[in-house]
Structure 1
Amino acid sequence: MPSEPIETEFANPPVLSLEQEEEYHQLERAGPVTRFSSTHTQVSSPAATGLHELEKSYSESGYYVVKFEKGKREDPREWSHTRKWIVTLGAAFLCLSVAIGSSIVTGDMRGPAIEFGTTQIIANLTVTCFVIGFGIGPLFFSPLSELYGRRPIYVVSMFLYFIFTLPSALAKNAATLIVARQIAGIAASAPVCNVGGSVADVWAVEECGLPMAVFSATLFIGPCLGPMIGGWIGELAGWRWIYWVLFIFVGFCFIVVCIVLETLAPVLLRKKAEKLRKETGDDRYRTLEELERMSFE
């Protein structure tokens, strides 16, 4: 008898008792497996039990396992709603700048084609190459954000996006314009692939519906606003001013990203451990992530 397709399993999810559902909710509120609080939630989940035992084994080996202290709002998921929304809106604003940047140049595509004596197809590459960058950048920015945190990746990517928008405004030929747009597109991809992670860092699963909707909306609104803004600027001031306005806008976004807080829990814990080691001179202060990495070396 043929086995049922895998879709059948998802169409008929397991039915949990109220007690089991509460255990899963408690485990979720405790955060991802790399998060810890000073008081552990007592649930019968094998994952929670295993992590507790792992932490206990390292403590017995003489290490001080660094974790978030309950009530001190060190964990991003314990931040106030105001602080969470500041992070969410700031990150979403970065996505808006990227989405607008992808389409604003369509406001005047004939301008560069006429000035550089090239075809409309070549001029269209300024959009094509920028969007192609969205597929290249995440290959590097996504894993790097998990190692070094969200904020450093945002800062570096927005700085590069800012810098490489300038050659587009000053371009003397089509090649310069296209290459600058390609590099700017790669740099601009970081917010698109990482903002969802920033939202998940600060909001629990049952709370992140609206924040995710706000973030997602910017990706759809931006490409709609871009041609309208670009067309108006191109009509009044010419195609180069489209890039100058984008350059100024991205520069403002770069200032915004410099004040956005780090949200990745393992990175915050690592900084806390480094601070404790520096203050005490004791190298035994380690995060669970660091101890796990050391065990494989």
Structure 2
Amino acid sequence: VRISGGTVQIEGVRIGDTPITEYDEIETELQTARPASDVLDLSPMQIFEEGVGAELVRDWPLDDAGNRTDGPAVDTPIRRFTGDDAAGVRIVLNWSGGLFQNNRDGELKTLYTAIRVRQRPSLDVEWEEVALLEYSEKKDYQFFRELAWTVPARGRWQIEVMRTDNPADDREMKTCRWELLQTLRPEAPVAWGGTVTKLGMRARATAQFSGQIDRLSALCSRIIPDYDAATGTWMERATSNPASAFRAALQSEALPERLRAADSAINLGRIEHWHAFCTSKGLTFNHVFEEDGLSLGDVLADLPPAGPSFMTR
């Protein structure tokens, strides 16, 4: 997750409305003011995830009345395409009710299941087998398994996942869902030339949550030069003072170097007086700039009215 350019103080990380500290099996990694090309150890590549959520079934053939007929079980493959330029693929399988069988006395016994994974680069090419996954478990609770592999050539691949074992009977539990399809690319997740703060997270799917986490939030404060009246100096720290934001905008690394103001080109004395004025009035600036095509003038114009009026005195 790219948080912002430069250095950012991150607090109060949440998933939805729940603090991340309330969850088990979560690892986090924070990179501050690092080149965007630096990769996170927890996420060293680009991962594009699609939720499949399709149950893998293989049932006995039925007649028009819904009665079982003679013949082999019916193959029912599930097929999806990866994203473009895939270098690798990962699939995640979910046995939501476990994998087990009960004998006539109700005792838990080991149960076997098999799943075939195939791939092809286009619809007019024969399938090639990736793996035949065979599992024997005695688990009456949810568990996940994943398979990751490198494709022969980068591109968009069609992936097929299909059960190959016999259908379950009344004493067997082997319901399995193809939960996720991930397209893997070795490039750094953030393609930008400057420095950024990145927060990486890896979570093990458990009873607490599963699937894609899309409600991650945090309280983020930009760390920029901020005037300290007590010492009469500027120091790097988190601040919401409009005067500090004004100076940071003039010297932002997001600007072309020829437009980036040097200290000697800024009237720091006026900005320091403005800083004191904002502090005395409790004025803050917490706007998040997310629009494309903003100019420096647009950014400075969004500062509170106290800024421009004070600076023209």
What band does the TM-score fall into relative to the shorter chain?
Answer: under 0.3
Bigger fraction of residues in helix: 1
Q: TM-score, normalised by structure 1?
A: 0.23
Q: TM-score, normalised by structure 2?
A: 0.22
Bigger fraction of residues in strand: 2
